[in-house]
Structure 1
Amino acid sequence: LFINTKTVGGGDYMSWAQLKDATDHNVEIGNHTHSHDFFLDQPAATRYKTFKEEIELSQSLIEENMGITPTVFSYPYGEFDNEMKGIVKAAGFKAAAAQNSGVMYSGGDLFQCPRFPMSEAYSAKAKFIEKATMKAFSLTQITPDDCMLPASNPPTLTLSFDAAGIRLNQLQCFVQGGKCSFKITDKNKVTVTLQATAPLSKKRRTLYTLTAPDKNGAWHWYSHLWINPHIKGTNY
């Protein structure tokens, strides 16, 4: 349960006593900053200092009120850049959760762990089973290894992965709200280049998603998040 400490006890948010009761029932508490702000909207000159200070403040408030020190972190709205990721690492956390859908595996980056939504429209039993049995692509290259939307729009994403057992003739690419074209440039180690067919200009956050089944019928999934900070953040 990731908490931003500014809202604890306010409105319909859990109080410190309720959070303590949750930990007594084996619920782990994670750090979600103090304000849960859109940090990428802040000026670059002060963004990272503010982000670091908020993490430290949130940690201290959780320690003071609950007597525990969180070891996992979640980026507000799943938004971050590489410098923010470095700040989280330096703060001593073991891992951090992003917000792009996908599967954790031993070769993945623990400081941008993917996660599937499991609530509301996504909470049906069949969907849960489908996601729980999903597998990761064993990636050896992600270029660019960054979430920020580049000046060249639509952006190009290059992925290399071990294709042993993957049915490449069923490889599919998706873009939120649009279509994505892709091509396989190397059939030995398999390098795939993905690019949307139109600029990503309508949404603040857009996913490129790659899926394919393997020879055993299990589906493999990878999503890459692009963030366009020129579109102001809204709480959605």
Structure 2
Amino acid sequence: MGALLRSKFLKLYMMVMLVIAYATGVGAALAADHASILMYHRFGETKYPTTNIRLEQFDAHLERLQSGDFTVWPLPRIVEYLQSGQPLPDRTVAITIDDAYLSVYQEAWPRLKALNMPFTLFVATQPIDANRYGYMTWDQIRELQSAGVTIGSQTRTHPHMHQISIERSKSEIAESNARFIAELGLRPDLFAYPYGEYDMQVIQAVMDAGFIAAFGQNSGIAHGYNGFYELPRFAMNEQYGTLSRLDLAINGLPLKVDQITPEDVILDQNPPIYGFTLAPDMDKPKQLRCFNSIYGKLDVTIMGRRAEIRLPGPLNGKRARVNCTMPGEDGRWRWFGRQFLNR
């Protein structure tokens, strides 16, 4: 009971301090309506550079997050605050790890535990059930869960969900939920799309299954202005795990948009006729810039708060991204990324 009372007191104290900050005119520096979410997979497994972060890189990340400018919160708490409209500390960060590889248990968790840094582990249940080489065991996952690590779902077999039938997608979710209940005594509230891939039907299936939020692998700052089932995360690996990119992610500001067209990320027309409407508090629409890795800077037309982005040619490959930025206050950048999928 004492710990519970202390927790309630600390939460009340933080809220009071935020109210005082707003009243004294410094609330913008102390409170925020967004958070940066980092995504990792493997740790020190240099055979897999696209999903691995080198240990010296990860150590540097943790040192930066400890610098005092950042607040690392559990992902469920961030979602709760965003959904309820409660202000978060500025530069709030969440750490997420996908796939439950063994190096999470051997390398990442000891470091995070020593620093008392919370994180969320997204698990696909079939590799764990099969005792697949290089993955954690249920005993190890239970050990993390008992220590306060949040367990999220990533289906049963980790499929490309937009390429399978919606009936199979629903079965993937239901069967994995049954395994979570059997092994952990709970079913997760948070969902991560395998490979960051989904379509509108998959989103609906995730919502119908009772998940309160779902996460992709497109870069951007999480805020929930346009919903909580396509929340972005910054992927960190050997190539994209430099300190400069980490700084860009954890110092970022949200670029809030809605009325996105096309609504679905599956490309029925390629190149897409892409556009969105900026939120009223996005005060520099004329400075919006959008980029693609193949075509570089893209043509952007601004009409009031509406932005129309045109690509000079098709988006090639299975996955392609368009990232849009806008300058914010204090030299920080607003960021919105969208991933498109070719069937």
**TM-score between the two structures when normalised by the length of structure 1:** 0.87
Structure 1 contact 180–194 (Cα < 8 Å) conserved: no
State the Cα distance separating 1:178 from its structure 2 match: 2.1
Q: 2:229 is paired with a residue of what secondary structure? A: helix
Structure 1 contact 179–196 (Cα < 8 Å) conserved: no
Q: Report the CA distance shift for 1:65/1:166 in structure 2 as closer, same or farther (over 3 A).
A: same
Q: How many correspondences in the alignment?
A: 221
Residue number in structure 2 paired with 1:234: none
State the Cα distance separating 1:142 from its structure 2 match: 1.0
Among candidates 299, 302, 310, match of residue 195 of structure 1: 310
Aligned mates of 1:138, 1:59 — CA distance in 2: 32
Letter in 2 for 1:175: N
**Structure 1 segment 145-224 matched on structure 2, within 5 A:** 145-150=263-268, 152-162=269-279, 164=281, 166-168=283-285, 170-187=287-304, 190-200=305-315, 202-224=316-338
Aligned mates of 2:203, 2:326 — CA distance in 1: 29
Task: Give yes or no for the alignment of 1:102 onto 2:102.
Answer: no
**Structure 1 segment 55-134 matched on structure 2, within 5 A:** 55-134=173-252
Aligned mates of 1:163, 1:211 — CA distance in 2: 16
User: Which stretch shifts more, 155-164 or 60-69?
Assistant: 155-164
Instruction: Give the structure with higher Rg (CA).
Output: 2
Structure 1 contact 72–96 (Cα < 8 Å) conserved: yes
Q: Report the CA distance shift for 1:171/1:177 in structure 2 as closer, same or farther (over 3 A).
A: same
Deviation string, structure 1 residues 192-211 (Cα, Å, up to 9, x no partner): 111211112x3101111111
Letter in 1 for 2:122: F
State the Cα distance separating 1:168 from its structure 2 match: 4.4
Letter in 2 for 1:53: S
Deviation string, structure 1 residues 65-123 (Cα, Å, up to 9, x no partner): 11122111111111111111001001011111111111111413211111111332333
Residue number in structure 1 paired with 2:140: 18
Residue number in structure 2 paired with 1:35: 157
Structure 1 contact 182–192 (Cα < 8 Å) conserved: no
Structure 2 contact 256–336 (Cα < 8 Å) conserved: no
Unaligned runs of 5+ in 1: 230-236
Aligned mates of 1:24, 1:125 — CA distance in 2: 32
Q: Tell me which protein shows more helix as a share of its residues.
A: 2
Deviation string, structure 1 residues 112-169 (Cα, Å, up to 9, x no partner): 111111332333333222211111122132112211102x321111111136564445
Aligned mates of 2:258, 2:163 — CA distance in 1: 32
Q: 1:192 is paired with a residue of what secondary structure? A: strand
Residue number in structure 1 paired with 2:126: 6
Among candidates 233, 253, 256, match of residue 138 of structure 1: 256
State the Cα distance separating 1:40 from its structure 2 match: 2.5
- Identity %, equivalent residues: 29
RMSD: 1.8
Aligned mates of 1:77, 1:165 — CA distance in 2: 30
Aligned mates of 2:209, 2:310 — CA distance in 1: 35
Q: 2:246 is paired with a residue of what secondary structure? A: helix
Q: 1:49 is paired with a residue of what secondary structure? A: helix
Deviation string, structure 1 residues 2-38 (Cα, Å, up to 9, x no partner): 1111101310100000001111222111111111112
Structure 2 contact 278–285 (Cα < 8 Å) conserved: no
Structure 1 contact 212–221 (Cα < 8 Å) conserved: yes
